[in-house]
Amino acid sequence: MSVLAILIISVFCVNIVCILTMIFVERKKPHTIVSWFIVLNFLPIIGFLIYGIVGSGLSYKTKKMLKKKRLYAKSYEDFVKEQKQLFTSRNISKEELKYLDLMLFNLNNSNSSYLKNNSVRVFLNGEDKILALKKDLLRAKHSINILYYIFADDEVGREVMDILIQKAKEGVKVKLLFDSVGCLKTPRKFFKQLVVAGGEIAEFFPLLFGFRLFNFKANYRNHKKIVVIDGRIGYTGGINIRDDHMGRSRRLSPWRDTHIRIVGNAVHDLQIAFFNDWRYCKNISSSMNNLISEGYFPRLGDFGDVGCQIITSGPDLPNQPIKESLLKMILSAKDKIYIQTPYFIPDESMLSALKIAKMSGVDIKIMIPSKPDKKFVYAATLSFIKDLIPTGIEFYRYDGFLHAKSIIIDDKVVSIGSCNFDNRSFALNFEISAFLFNAEFVDQNLNYFLVDLSHCAKVENSFFKRKFIFNKFSQVFVRLFAPLL
């Protein structure tokens, strides 16, 4: 038997083992298996290497550790049970009755408590957000917990790091958690200077033996953005710590994003989300009661009238809480659905939900960027848009790079967080979203959306007719890999 024949048989056997592993061990969904089947067979050997680095599922050991990271103490579980009984008995206000079904769904589906009395400020760009964040960090007295997908060693990154170092030297408890893939270009010595100052750092799914090309969990990224200061002020949304997120990159300027600052009871759930990941990365077992005694969960008063549910999702969970909550929002809409996302790659369930809503008479407007940061993903986005335009769903291209991740339903609720409208965010990444309930707050965000529309061009069928043959081919081809993007 020739060497070539042996090689072909070996590649075939390896591919069969990979496919069987996806089916019986990792239990991937059929459309994902089909996409990987194409990669493995059209890119022999290289396809296997790609699968080994970014496609293989979480190991049994990793899954076991992730299951242990949940912080729900008995007192928190009792509080959630009380809320379920409260909503079941309909002992709620007339305003809350409008979105009772969604609140109950989030409570039952993801144990996400509904917390009132919050004040929420919205930031529409990185410069405003970072200015407010730096002021809050400088006022910190007890603790700073910070988690970012990207924390770069650039101008804005150094500004924030200098403040963290300063506060650590003053005796404030500073904990910084960063994602391995998101911070691939950031030197690890940049973070270690915080440790020298007295702070703590942790890396989510760190590199294998320190080699940047060897991270067999690279497909699973902690895409969250969380800051909690003194247990009283919280930040979350889409803006990372990097210069281009401040709009300082000519190629992707203007950069439009959405981030929020929360003061109120919902900050406690942001704190829980942070410590869930922190405990996993540091492999520690601090209970909720210990953290309460250490001052991480101070008593909070009445700061506003925005209700909030914080929902996290990730491959460590048996379901997809954020995606399922968004599905519930879309299917419950009566009047309008307004979506802003940098990447629009819906799966079949999302496509069906949007079509059903549109056929029910709901006004659906979806906004994407006109300047893509990832052309491969953008091609897939355009292929889905081309198919949906005939349904009457309206698409708009923002004049710049749109990185906001927000969804508005009627006058009831707005979702703002780190989660994009794609399979990667719904199924592969660790994400966080805030579901915010308040008529005035929703109206405020509706106005932001309408202002953005004035900076958009509507996508018509003629847009696709102008495309070159290569562009049309690439859109169809890239769509084959949509479940992996």
Tell how far CA 83 is from the center of its chain: 26
Q: Which of 179, 257, 277, 410 is catalytic?
A: 410
Q: For this structure, is 405 an active site residue?
A: yes
Exposed, middle or buried, 20 (CB in 10 Å: 0-12/13-18/19+)? exposed
Q: For this structure, is 31 an active site residue?
A: no
Structure tokens at 303: 């700061």
Ramachandran angles phi, psi of 260, nearest 5°? -130, 150
Measured between alpha carbons, how far is 196 from 169 in angstroms, rounded to an integer? Answer: 9
Measured between alpha carbons, how far is 278 from 226 in angstroms, rounded to an integer? Answer: 12
Ramachandran angles phi, psi of 44, nearest 5°? -60, 145
Q: Taking a C-beta distance cutoff of 8 angstroms, is the pair 485, 424 a contact?
A: yes
400-423 burial, b if ≥16 CB within 10 A, otherwise e?
Answer: bbbbbbbbbbbbbbbbbbbbbbbb
Measured at the CA of 112, the angle between CA 220 and CA 283, to 5 degrees, comes to 45
Q: Which of 173, 224, 225, 328 is catalytic?
A: 225
Q: Which of 136, 179, 230, 316 is catalytic?
A: 230
β-pair type (255-256, 401-402): parallel
DSSP string of 355-406, one letter each residue: HHHHHTT-EEEEEEESS-S-HHHHHHHHHHHHHHGGGT-EEEEESSEE---E
Task: Report the run of H or E that residue 337 belongs to, with start and end.
Answer: strand 336-340
Structure tokens at 105: 């769904």
Measured between alpha carbons, how far is 273 from 222 in angstroms, rounded to an integer? Answer: 12
Cβ neighbours, 10 Å, residue 59: 11
DSSP 334: S
Q: Which of 405, 412, 422, 452 is catalytic?
A: 405
Tokens 């194409």 — which residue? 38
Structure tokens at 18: 């990979």
Residue 466, CA distances (Å) to 129, 229, 370, 459, 471 in order: 38, 50, 15, 12, 10
Q: Which of 28, 116, 217, 223 is catalytic?
A: 223
Q: For this structure, is 169 an active site residue?
A: no
Q: Which of 316, 403, 412, 422 is catalytic?
A: 403
DSSP string of 141-182, one letter each residue: SSEEEEEES-B-SSHHHHHHHHHHHHHHHTT-EEEEEEETTT
**Which amino acid does the sequence have at 372?**
P
- Residues marked active site are found at 223, 225, 230, 403, 405, 410
